Chains A and B, each alone.
Chain A
Amino acid sequence: MIEEQAVVKVGMADLNVVKESGIIRTTGLGSCVGLTLYDKNIHLVGMAHVMLPSSDIAREGQLNIAKYADTALPELLKRMADLGAIRSRLVAKMAGGAQMFSFSSGGDNMRIGPRNVEACKLFLQEYKIPLIAEDTGANYGRTIEMDCTTGMLSIRSVQMGKKEI
């Protein structure tokens, strides 16, 4: 009965979905936020590795919608809806948004982690998706993975070891 589960990797400024069985993982979250949405009825997980709070500041030619909180969430919702997710069943969990280095000065870019967290919360509220668990802030990096059969989010860090939410 030992079966290696398939692992789907989500890179930085990237997003993906996994349905029915398997694990979805993103590594090395610092100030970035790992946002997950889960539909437990159909065992569908969507995960985004969000790097920046808002696409308003984007100066790139072709927008990478997975990178920004305001564009990644609608894209996740769309991809999940295509696979049969029902908006009202979705619950969100997130981790990351650390402030890796603390400085007294340095302006907005220095507190990008907390700003990413705030932005994700704002957009979840806008889409009326409840945030049922989070492990955000502090000053350390995290690797997260979600098992799509259970919807458990496990978080690993150098300083805090492993935990599940």
Chain B
Amino acid sequence: MGFFEKLEGFKMDVLKEVGNIGAGNAATALSQLLDKPIDMAVPKVQILPFDQIAEKVGGQEQIVLAVFFRVEGDAPGNLFFILTPEAGKGLLHRLAGLVVVDEEQFSEMEQSALSEIGNILAGSYLSSLADFTGLSMTPTVPGLAYDMAGAILNYGLIQFGEMGDDALLIDTTFLEGKNEVEGQFFLIPDPESFEKIFIALGVPLQDD
């Protein structure tokens, strides 16, 4: 795994801070939307084999709700906002006043509302990162899926597929109250983006 060998402890900490700033702002945005406090777990930066990435949300076949954004600009990547179906229904109820009709499905109205919520959160995640790094990072229009976690997340691994069998994931979990999970943000920067992020933040790139 030559690609990741250069990412020693200090750089991993920098990426953790990247997750902290992005998700911190997104958590604030969600907290404002819901008018209640949203906590955030310390971001995890991990290099994981493809197969294990879906384990972070309950396994390959776990059914999740995901809003996906391709990040465009100076430091491209993939951004997922992932919710359990229950958390998704809860958000819809509190934010849009939509009453749960079907536990198992999401109507077009619900999907559209969830995409918009994802859009607001991803916007604040990325704009704070862009401010922090001085790099342009803009989300595409949101794509929504309600499906197996494996099938959804694999989509964000394609850029890493050319490099090897592992990907680097910046994972932040939102918590409501004690530890009820509200949602998770996964940022998977493209392999080329790391160097740009490090240069932008003044992290020395010396190769040994």
**Which residues on A are within 8 Å of B, measured CB to CB?**
11-14, 27-32, 51-52, 57-61, 64, 67, 98, 100-103, 105-106, 109-110, 112, 139-143, 157-159
Per a CB cutoff under 8 Å, which of B50, B140, B152, B155 touches A105? B140
| Contact (Cβ within 8 A) B162 A32 | no
Dominant SS among interface residues on chain A? loop
Complex Cα gap A141–B2 (Å): 31
Complex Cα gap A13–B147 (Å): 20
| Contact (Cβ within 8 A) B147 A12 | no
B162-180 residues with Cβ-Cβ distance < 8 A to A are 162-165
Q: Which residues of A contact B153 (CB under 8 A)?
A: 30
A-B contact pairs, 9 of them (CB 8 A): A11-B51, A12-B50, A30-B152, A61-B164, A64-B165, A100-B155, A101-B143, A101-B155, A106-B140
Q: Is B158 an interface residue (CB 8 A)?
A: yes
The 8 A CB mask of B9-53 against A (1 = contact, 0 = none) is 000000000000000000000000000000000000000001100
Q: Which residues of B contact A158 (CB under 8 A)?
A: 63, 146-148
Q: Is B92 an interface residue (CB 8 A)?
A: no
Complex Cα gap A100–B165 (Å): 21
Per a CB cutoff under 8 Å, which of B143, B144, B148, B161 touches A141? B148
Complex Cα gap A13–B166 (Å): 11
Q: Is B141 an interface residue (CB 8 A)?
A: yes
Q: Is B60 an interface residue (CB 8 A)?
A: yes
| Contact (Cβ within 8 A) B155 A31 | yes
| Contact (Cβ within 8 A) B154 A12 | yes
Complex Cα gap A98–B51 (Å): 18
| Contact (Cβ within 8 A) A12 B152 | no
Residue among A29, A51, A64 with the highest chain B CB neighbour number at 10 A = A51
Q: Which residues of A contact B2 (CB under 8 A)?
A: 61
Complex Cα gap A105–B141 (Å): 10
Q: Which residues of B contact A67 (CB under 8 A)?
A: 161, 165
Which residue of the partner chain B has the closest CB to A159? B147
Q: Which residues of B contact A143 (CB under 8 A)?
A: 60-61, 148
Complex Cα gap A109–B165 (Å): 17
| Contact (Cβ within 8 A) A60 B158 | no
Distance between A129 CB and nearest chain B CB, rounded to angstroms: 24
Residue among B2, B155, B157 with the highest chain A CB neighbour number at 10 A = B155
Distance between B139 CB and nearest chain A CB, rounded to angstroms: 11
Per a CB cutoff under 8 Å, which of B146, B150, B165 touches A28? B150
Q: Is B151 an interface residue (CB 8 A)?
A: yes
Which residue of the partner chain A has the closest CB to B61? A27
Q: Which residues of B contact A112 (CB under 8 A)?
A: 155, 158
Q: Which residues of B contact A110 (CB under 8 A)?
A: 70
Complex Cα gap A148–B148 (Å): 25
Q: Are A28 and B148 CB-contacts (below 8 A) given A52-B162, A61-B2, A67-B161?
A: yes
| Contact (Cβ within 8 A) B158 A141 | no
Q: Which residues of A contact B144 (CB under 8 A)?
A: 101
Complex Cα gap A109–B159 (Å): 8
Q: Which residues of B contact A139 (CB under 8 A)?
A: 145
Q: Are A52 and B163 CB-contacts (below 8 A) given A28-B60, A30-B150, A103-B70?
A: no
Distance between A121 CB and nearest chain B CB, rounded to angstroms: 20
Q: Is B75 an interface residue (CB 8 A)?
A: no
Per a CB cutoff under 8 Å, which of B51, B151, B162, B164 touches A30? B151
Q: Which residues of B contact A61 (CB under 8 A)?
A: 2, 164
